[in-house]
Chain A
Amino acid sequence: MNGIIANLLAALARMTSGANVRWMTDDTRDGQVIYFANHTSHLDFVVLWSVLGKEQRPRTRPVAARDYWEATGVRRYFATRIFRAILVDREGESVGHLRAQLTQLIEALDAGDSLILFPEGTRGTSEGMAEFRGGLYFLARQRPDLGLVPVHLHNLQRIMPKGEFLPVPQLSAVTFGAPLRLEKGEGKEAFLARARTAIEELAPS
């Protein structure tokens, strides 16, 4: 039942977003990877998740904000049953807290699932991406064999801007880039900057 709902929802998300999907390399369509994308709209992870293949989708878990997705019963149902989201707190900044959250992500990876991650943390403005938080770097260091796939989401913030409840149907684009890996001796700042550029370079001209 949840599987059927998930497929219907994915079809609805693809229809609403009119997403034009491009894969720069085919090897990131399947298998375990970490997708990381720019964040501009509530639609982001739903659309990214919806354009994945039928096999890949149930194995891919979005990392989403707990305060938003646990606010109502319906949201909680979708987050836990349909998307199997990993809910994280945005507020808690204590070291122990962050570590607990990252442990959660590592556990999901060790169970064989892929992740969808928004390293900006919060939705950026339409002008450009916010600075990346460190989680992506931590995951890259902990699981160096996994490919980190940059994904550029285009125009979703115009379909569903912050604070709106109904989408205006427009066309969007989802571009999957070539996977990144942490290089030997690469520091946190350098790696995060490289990851950020990798997304920017995928923007449709």
Chain B
Amino acid sequence: MNTTFDTELQWLLGGIIAVLVVATVAGAILARRVTTDSGRAVVDNLIVRTRAWWVMCGVFGIALLTGGAGSVLLFGLISFLALREFITLTPTRHGDHRALLWVFFLLTPAQYLFVWFDWYGMFSIFIPVYAFLLVPTRSALVGETEHFLERTATVQWALMVCVYCVSHAPALLIIDVEGYEGQNAKLLLFLVIVVQGSDVLQYIWGKLFGKHPIVPRVSPNKTWEGFAGGISCATLIGMGLWWATPFAPWQAALMALGISLMGFAGGLTMSAIKRDRGVKDFGALIAGHGGVLDRIDSLLFAAPIFFHLTRFFFGA
């Protein structure tokens, strides 16, 4: 899990900083020019979001540069916070308290320990098999049967989405790719750049040209125009970053396309959950962005698929 701090990694990190500088300068210029109240609100939001992006990129960058430990720890923490936001919205009762203690304080850390120990076999089945069976058993032992299936199913879903899916991001560091040893940090960066870039680009394209919502009842802001523009741009960005990956340019483009499509699917699904629970955001931890889950919703579905595709086609 060692990370080499090579030139390509430096270029990727430098590129992120450059984009943030551009966004910050653009925000400052727009803030001077804006005249209307609604315009002011949009620009203020842009500035708050950009500032949060600096913090998020800083934390992520530091984690990445520490090698494996920092990344595993960071994503473990993200899982923990995401799980907390998710469980808050679920119909769990007193009878699930002990099961939830297991979920938060044992199952989640264990999943990340398996990543850290490079134990792929256990990592890939621990939650779908062992946690899947343990959680309902612990709740059943308490004897509270009201809405039992509903409660158990949501806790299992929370574990799958907030822990299992997210843990595939740092697990990119343990894939063996021939001729790419010690360079896997760039795969993780590739995933995060494409998935978050796709998010931002879909937002921008949607704001500029968005007319036809895809599923208006779930999310009126996700439009066909934003989808097409954002995803094709993100695919091009991914292709342009092929030099940092073990992929050829066309393979990098397909990977980026897959990541973006899964990112869209994740964002849409999480929006449907928010709609159902009647909330706008999962939390309020990140200024301008909402909760942790609101920020990583697109990563949730993209991470396991990108992990699997990479391991399947490029794994040694």
Contacts and interface: CB of A to CB of B under 8 A. Distances in A.
Interface residues of A, number: 12
Contacts of B283: 18, 171
Nearest to B278: A205
Nearest to A168: B100
A170 B88 contact: yes
Interface stretch (A60-68, A130-138, A158-166, A187-195): A158-166
Given A20-B284, A161-B94, A171 B101 contact: no
Contacts of B3: none
Given A158-B92, A169-B104, A171-B283, A164 B97 contact: yes
Given A18-B84, A20-B284, A155-B88, A168 B94 contact: no
Interface string B25-36: 000000000000
Contacts, number: 29
B284 to A, nearest CB: 6
B87 interface: yes
Contacts of B100: 168
B85 interface: yes
Contacts of B84: 18, 169-171
A168 B97 contact: yes
Among B80, B97, B101, find the residue whose CB has the most chain A CB atoms closer than 10 A.
B97
A66 B140 CA distance: 35
Contacts of A168: 87, 97, 100-101, 104
Interface string A156-189: 0010011010101111000000000000000000
A161 B99 CA distance: 13
Interface string B248-286: 000000000000000000000000000000000001100
Interface string A33-72: 0000000000000000000000000000000000000000
B88 A171 contact: yes
Contacts of A166: 101, 105
Interface in B89-138: 92, 94, 97, 100-101, 104-105
B85 A161 contact: no
A187 B44 CA distance: 50
Contacts of A161: 94, 97
A161 B283 CA distance: 22
Contacts of A18: 84, 88, 283
A118 to B, nearest CB: 20
Contacts of B104: 168-169
A170 B284 CA distance: 13
Most B C-beta atoms less than 10 A away, residue of A20, A158, A168, A171: A168
B97 A170 contact: no
Nearest to B96: A168
Nearest to B95: A161
Contacts of B284: 20
A168 B99 CA distance: 10
A158 B97 CA distance: 8
Nearest to A171: B88
B151 to A, nearest CB: 12
Nearest to A163: B94
Contacts of B94: 158, 161-162
Interface of B: 80, 84-85, 87-88, 92, 94, 97, 100-101, 104-105, 283-284
Interface of A: 18, 20, 155, 158, 161-162, 164, 166, 168-171
Instruction: Please provide the 7 A-B residue pairs with the shortest distance between their CB atoms, ordered closest to farther.
Output: A168-B100, A170-B88, A171-B88, A161-B94, A169-B84, A164-B97, A170-B87
Given A168-B100, A168-B104, A171-B84, 8 more contacts: A18-B88, A18-B283, A20-B284, A164-B97, A166-B105, A168-B101, A169-B84, A171-B85
